[in-house]
Amino acid sequence: MRGILYTTPEAPVARAVAGVCLALIGLSVAILLLPGCNAPPRQVGTLAVALEAMPTQLDPRLATDAHSSRIASLLFASLLRRDAGGRAVAWLASSWQADDQLTWRFSLRSDFVFHDRRPVTADDVVASYRALMDPVLGSPRKAMLASVQSIEKTGPYEVVFKLSQPDAAFLEAASFAVLPSDLAAERHLSSEQLIGAGPYRLLEVRHGDRVLLEAHGDYADGYPPIERIEFRVIPDETMRALELQHGSVDLVQNALDPDTVSWLKKNAGHLEIRRSPSNSFQYLGLNLDHPALADKRVRRALAMAIDRQAIVDYLLAGRARVASGLLPPQHWAHHDGGPAIVYAPDQAGRLLDRAGYPRRGPDGTRLTLDYKTTTQQLRRRLAEAIAAQLSALGVKLKLSSWEWGTFYSDIKKGNFDSYSLAWVGILDPDILRNVFHSGMTPPLGANRGRFADRRVDRLTDKALLTETVQQRARLYARVQKRLAALLPVIPLWWPENVVVTSRRLKGFTPHPSGDLLGLASAELLEKPPPVDTSPEGRAARDPLR
């Protein structure tokens, strides 16, 4: 075993593992003492999904966090959507074509209606996109529509986008939600006003703890078998596990630590545990306006002092792969070139010496940085492990944990030295431009660390003008090599999808992006089917064995 994490029994990984054990003991006691878990009663036709935090914004024009986006995928329809392989498939559109490099034509289906039963027409599509392009609204999606010169209807069910220049990532923008034309023109929409054409309509939002959806009876792709979906905010991980164990929650996605999942595997036969690759990326974000973090030698030293493999092995129970960059290995544009990050704390110390940050004072501190994370238990333990490893280097991290809304707001504002977050749902490699182009600082894009590099700007801009996948892949390979050399963020790992569901839920296949649209075609049985206790049955329902 390597690294500071294992030098003493008091090291954070040891403390984190001990904390997990205590939590599991507490979980067992709680189950014995609270057999009913005090869960609110719910109808047989209501699927309960547990979330760690409340969505920050359900208006799809403004939402950027994962919880909001996943709920929005059930409420709102778009011209196109992405399948599990990342391919564009029709949704509101019946067909689409590029008349030339600057003209995209979409024909709409005539059977889609909004939740108030008004038909979805070209007017609604035009109004929705013009709203996103309006600087007054301030939509974070505006930057992805920078190449759109105009959008016009050419018939009741046909729209044409005219581009100012070729845009190889344009179809990614065709996945934006469409609202009724009168609502799209409004600058502010309350949750009570939100109307879409997706498989579910918004029935109730109780700020702080619940979002309730109801099946859209006139949904064009068929009436959803599950009548209602209740998203319940349960910040405490032990309580999420308790409610899963007692059947008052039916689905938890990527919101349980590995030890809790293992405990559920042994103690809750009515649950299914599914584990699969995701297209997510966990990273350590850095504010490059900070004088020390602006130096690439400091960033490289921090990266080399974090034993990412040890954290993956022991805190994540191997349910992730150490990352080299933003695009996961299964992505068609993934490239592993560029300087690799090796765990070499001694070499990291020499880098900090050369950068002008020698050890000082009686405790040998070189540098002190703030580190922000959420109140989620696993995130705090990961922060403690990273802080301990960097402490051995002489870099002191001042940890602070915040509820999700405050944390995410600070990150978007640049109010941090360092933090950790994950990009989820990575599809088009143009995300590299959105995250690292100097013109994409918030609110225009997601360059939250204020990174600026002319070569990355030029390459990501050029990649939008190319005509073939092969040309784009070559350009994005150069971008990834450059980012690997400069490390504007520190890659941590590519996590797996770990989804725990009740066996009452049938027909739901987890999406690599975490998207929940598959719930619209799933069904919820009144009782779980009998458990197949054969070795084959156990292996089929539990890939973690």
Within this chain, do residues 119 and 199 fall inside the same structural domain, yes or no? no
246-266 pLDDT, tens digit per residue, is 999 999 999 898 889 988 988
Q: Mean per-residue pLDDT for 230-235?
A: 94
Q: Contact, 106 vs 174, CB < 8 A?
A: yes
Give the confidence band of 11 by pLDDT, cuts at 50, 70, 90. very low
Residue scoring higher pLDDT (22 or 408):
408
**Residue 532 confidence class, pLDDT cut points 50, 70, 90:** low
- pLDDT for 289-313, tens place per residue? 999 999 999 999 999 999 999 999 9
Question: Looking at residue 123, which CATH number applies to its domain?
Answer: 3.90.76.10
pLDDT of 3 > 70? The answer is no
Predicted confidence band of residue 444 (pLDDT cuts 50, 70, 90): confident
**3-state secondary structure (DSSP) of residue 155:** strand
166, 188, 210: which is the final residue of a domain? 188
Domain boundary among 143, 163, 188: 188
CB under 8 Å, gap of 24 or more: what pairs does 186-192 form? 187/136, 187/137, 189/59, 191/58
Contacts for 82 with CB less than 8 Å, ≥ 6 apart: 88, 89, 175, 427, 513, 515
Do 433 and 353 fall into the same domain? yes
Residue 512 has pLDDT above 90, yes or no: no
How much is the average pLDDT of 370-380?
Answer: 91
Give pLDDT tens digits for 193-203: 999 999 999 99
For residue 10, being part of any structural domain is answered with no
In a domain, 30, yes or no: no
22 is a domain residue: no
In-domain check, residue 512:
yes
Which of 188, 207, 230 is the endpoint of a domain? 188
Confidence of residue 536 (pLDDT cuts 50, 70, 90): low
- One domain for residues 334 and 455: yes
Looking at the fold, whether 407 and 524 belong to one and the same domain comes out as no
Same domain assignment for residues 490 and 502: no
% of residues, the chain, pLDDT over 70: 89
Number of domains in the chain: 3
331 and 452 fall within a common domain: yes
pLDDT at 19 over 70: no
pLDDT at 445: 87
Average pLDDT over residues 137-146: 90
CA 315 – CA 249 distance, rounded (Å)? 25
Compute the average pLDDT of residues 100-111.
96
Q: Is residue 72 part of a domain?
A: no
Clarify whether residues 312 and 391 are in a common domain: yes
Query: Does residue 405 share a domain with residue 336?
Result: yes
pLDDT(40) > 70: no
355 and 445 share one domain: yes
The mean per-residue pLDDT over the stretch 314-340 comes to 91
Q: Residue 215: CB partners within 8 Å, gap ≥ 6?
A: 199, 200, 201, 223, 224, 226, 227, 228
CATH code for the domain of 391: 3.10.105.10
For residue range 49-103, list pLDDT tens digits in order. 999 989 988 999 998 888 999 999 999 999 999 888 778 999 999 999 999 999 9
Average pLDDT, the chain: 88
End-to-end CA distance of the chain: 24
318 & 379 share domain: yes
Whether the per-residue pLDDT at 190 is higher than 70: the answer is yes
Tell which residue, 311, 285, 309, 282, has the closest CA to residue 299.
Answer: 285
Q: Is the pLDDT of residue 28 over 50?
A: no
Residue 112 has pLDDT above 70, yes or no: yes
The confidence score (pLDDT) of residue 64 equals 85
- 336 and 449 share a domain? yes
Domain that holds residue 257: 43-55+194-274+497-541
Is the C-alpha dihedral spanning 11, 16, 19, 21 positive or negative? negative
Q: Determine the pLDDT at residue 533.
A: 55
Three-state secondary structure call for residue 250: coil
Any domain includes 201:
yes
Crossing angle for the helix pair 237-245 and 12-33, to the nearest 10 degrees: 40
Residues 99 and 179 both lie in one domain: yes
* CATH code, domain with 247: 3.40.190.10
Task: Give the Cβ contact number of residue 411 at 10 Å.
Answer: 20
Query: Is residue 530 pLDDT above 90, yes or no?
Result: no
Structural domain contains residue 411: yes
Asked whether residue 216 is domain-assigned, the answer is yes
Over range 458-481, report the average pLDDT. 93
Pairing of strands 395-402, 271-277: unpaired
| Region 414-419 average pLDDT | 96
Q: State the pLDDT confidence band at 330, using cuts at 50, 70 and 90.
A: confident
pTM above 0.85, yes or no: no
